[in-house]
């Protein structure tokens, strides 16, 4: 019964609208927990901490998920990870903005934000 309610809620959220350009909707929550929808930017998706969450989703559900990607972690943990990613991005942007002439730091910044496309291609299979 609970699974049926989650599927109904997911359909309602999908009808509520697509995420903005450059973003993707994910559903977050452990098994037995009410899942919540989050809209995540591609910048956040490319962060190594988010990649760990996607690895966990792959281990738990595989890449053949229907609809939004489900991240199997507690909602409060997901929110903390998002906060760490945002602080990290803000710190890197601030540092990069004020020290853009340091090529070695610039190279690290470029690698840090690298998007691993093969990982995401599997997430969006029909």
- pLDDT of 61-110, one tens digit each? 887 777 788 999 999 999 999 999 999 887 876 655 554 444 333 333 34
Q: What is the pLDDT of residue 27?
A: 94
99: helix, strand or coil: coil
- Which has the higher per-residue pLDDT, 10 or 70? 70
Tell me the residue ranges of DSSP E strands in 1-126: 23-28, 36-41, 69-71
Q: Are strands 69-71 and 23-28 parallel, antiparallel or unpaired?
A: parallel
Query: Stretch 22-47: mean pLDDT, rounded?
Result: 92
Domain ranges within the chain, ordered by starting residue = 23-89
In the structure encoding, which two tokens stand for residue 40, read together? 């995540």
Percent of the chain with pLDDT over 90: 37
Q: What is the pLDDT of residue 30?
A: 92
Q: What is the pLDDT of residue 62?
A: 80
Closest residue by Cα to residue 73 from 39, 36, 40: 36
1 band by pLDDT with thresholds 50, 70 and 90 = low
Q: What is the pLDDT of residue 53?
A: 94
């Amino acid at each position: 019964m609970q699974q049926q309610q989650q599927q109904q809620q997911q359909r309602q959220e999908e009808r509520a609208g697509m995420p903005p350009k450059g973003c993707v909707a994910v559903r977050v929550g452990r098994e037995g927990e009410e899942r919540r929808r989050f809209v995540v930017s591609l910048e956040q998706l490319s962060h190594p901490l988010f990649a760990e969450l996607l690895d966990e989703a792959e281990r738990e559900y595989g890449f053949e998920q229907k609809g939004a990607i489900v991240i199997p972690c507690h909602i409060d943990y997901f929110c903390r990870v998002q906060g760490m990613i945002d602080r990290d991005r803000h710190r890197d942007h601030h540092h990069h903005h004020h020290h853009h002439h340091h090529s070695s730091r610039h190279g690290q910044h470029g690698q840090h934000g690298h998007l691993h496309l093969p990982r995401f291609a599997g997430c969006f299979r029909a």
